[in-house]
Structure 1
């Protein structure tokens, strides 16, 4: 069995830390807990990330980079059904590839309504759907769409976290369809 690369080790640490931060909160997740979960020594973990704050920052930056990549993929499309499907598909794929990141996003929605992390996640997510600006400054005109977006994301996040051990490409496609339906677009006629 080949030895993992530095990038693979870092990916494992960040994904595990994201899941632990989501489950236990930042304050209750120690560096030792992360080290134990990935099978490394605390010293080895601190060699890569010099503090718990540095680890948290790396986890958040990676999750934001993932969301921004999804946004960039959709940016050339006009706001509407096609763009929404690209974003929902990207978030669903992220849930399959990095369930810890999606769990962290979900936990930030439920536990830190005033937190900077939520604000950053919110801006990145709504930008992907073509809504620019501060999500906290929603107008009455934008509110129904934003509610549908949050519902669609909730469908992806909750389903993928609750059923992570059963996620297959077929199941992922079903999650995309359920989430897409929450956006209120008509399905293409077959």
Structure 2
């Protein structure tokens, strides 16, 4: 069996940390809890990431980096079903490969944040909404016309994230199209002819 590379090990640790930060928050997530989830000793984990703060920084960088890459893919594309599909397909790939990251992205819209988390989660929410062409200056203004659109986007993300977790034991290539179709429907579009791909 091929041994995982250093990058693959770090990616797995970061994803496990992201999932725990999303579920419990920074304050209630201990290094030991992350080590247990990742299958490493606390000492071994701290050899790679010297503190919980270092783990948070790694998670933050990975999360915002992934979303900015998705945003860059659709920058300049006209708003509409085609652009939405590209974003959803990219998010489906993230959800299947890195469920912890997509859980953290979803938590950006819960608003149940602690000091130190708000800046990251606000940025995550803004970057994601911008990828869908939503005015990030007024995403929660009840008098703003983007409220309905923002609601659909959050609903689509929730559907995608929860379904990806529920179907995690199924082959990715079989699940991906269903994730995209379900979240695409949540945006009010008809079913896409989703393409297959690997993260």
Unaligned runs of 5+ in 2: 194-199
> Which residue, out of 123, 126, 142, partners 1:123?
126
Shift of 1:4: 2.8
Which position in structure 1 is the counterpart of 2:157?
153
Which protein is richer in helix relative to its size? 1
Q: Within 1, Cα distance between the matches of 2:98 and 2:188?
A: 27
Distance of aligned partners of 1:37 and 1:119 in 2 relative to their CA distance in 1, 3 Å threshold: same
Q: Is the 8 A contact 1:126 1:135 kept in 2?
A: no
Distance of aligned partners of 1:106 and 1:133 in 2 relative to their CA distance in 1, 3 Å threshold: closer
Distance of aligned partners of 1:134 and 1:13 in 2 relative to their CA distance in 1, 3 Å threshold: same
Q: Is the 8 A contact 1:18 1:103 kept in 2?
A: yes
Which position in structure 2 is the counterpart of 1:181?
185
Q: Within 2, Cα distance between the matches of 1:111 and 1:100?
A: 18
Q: Is the 8 A contact 1:149 1:182 kept in 2?
A: yes
Shift of 1:12: 1.4
Root-mean-square deviation (Å): 2.3
Q: Within 1, Cα distance between the matches of 2:10 and 2:191?
A: 40
Shift of 1:113: 5.8
> Which residue, out of 171, 176, 179, partners 2:175?
171
Q: Within 2, Cα distance between the matches of 1:21 and 1:185?
A: 32
Shift of 1:34: 1.5
Unaligned runs of 5+ in 1: none
1:24-63 correspondence to structure 2 within 5 Å: 24-63=24-63
